[in-house]
Amino acid sequence: MLAYEARCCFSNIGRGFIKPSLLRRSLFSFPKFPFLSPTEVQRFKEQRILPYEREQLYNVVSDVASYPHFVPFCTSSRIISPATEKPAGSGKLVMEAELTVGFHSFVESYVSRVTCIPYESVHAEAASTTPLFRTLQTTWTFKPTSDVRSATGSSPFRTNRPTLVILDLAYAFANPLHATVSSAFFGQISGEMVKAFEERCHQIYGLDHK
């Protein structure tokens, strides 16, 4: 059995006991939100061509231990079981990690099962035991391209092997209060994740990558 620890500081938000200035991670000033059903699954997709080889991009996403350094709202990451090939001979590497997320007024941890196909994709799914999400799945896919040009069509990327990065995100909160509070910004999280991922690649590989 996996050790699971959930920490939530949501109990006083509706009673006015917590001032916005005292919230652990106050990112936005929220208006009143429409109610979101906890059974409603939200799906988002982002894609972008980056001037890096897919091996490099895969290495950034599969480095789960480094998520707190660049993934939005991820405050800590602890590897529970290291990556091992499952099933043997499949070429798929599976690991489990406890991720802690903190946004606006709450901090909570959940276990994520991460399946990596080297240089092709990274798929993460929240364990069914977490009370935070009814479902949470993120899939990063890396597709090689050839001679990809800029939007003007006049200049190719300075690398010979640019990569198409695709992020698919599907989530549904188990708690309607979580869904309501997150509604103001969670619809933009996929774009923020790709942006943060791109900036992380710039830090590691440089802007003027060839």
Q: Delimit the domains of the chain by residue range.
A: 41-205
The dihedral built from the CA positions of residue 189, 192, 196 and 201, taken in this order, carries a sign that is: positive
The CATH class that applies to domain 41-205 reads: alpha beta
Range with the lowest mean pLDDT among 49-63, 87-101, 129-143?
129-143
Residue 191, pLDDT above cutoff 50? yes
Q: pLDDT tens, 116-157?
A: 999 999 999 998 777 778 888 999 999 998 644 444 344 344
Amino acid at the residue 86: K
* CA–CA separation, 120 and 209 (whole Å): 21
Q: Which tokens in the block code for residue 186?
A: 């969670």
- Prediction pTM value: 0.72
Q: Which tokens in the block code for residue 148?
A: 């990809």
Residue 23, pLDDT above cutoff 60? no
In the numeric block, the tokens 């069509």 are attached to 153
H-assigned helices in the chain: 54-61, 176-182, 189-205
Closest CA to 126 of 100, 91, 90, 107: 100
* CA–CA separation, 143 and 165 (whole Å): 7
The CA distances from residue 144 to 17, 91, 165, in Å, are: 52, 19, 9
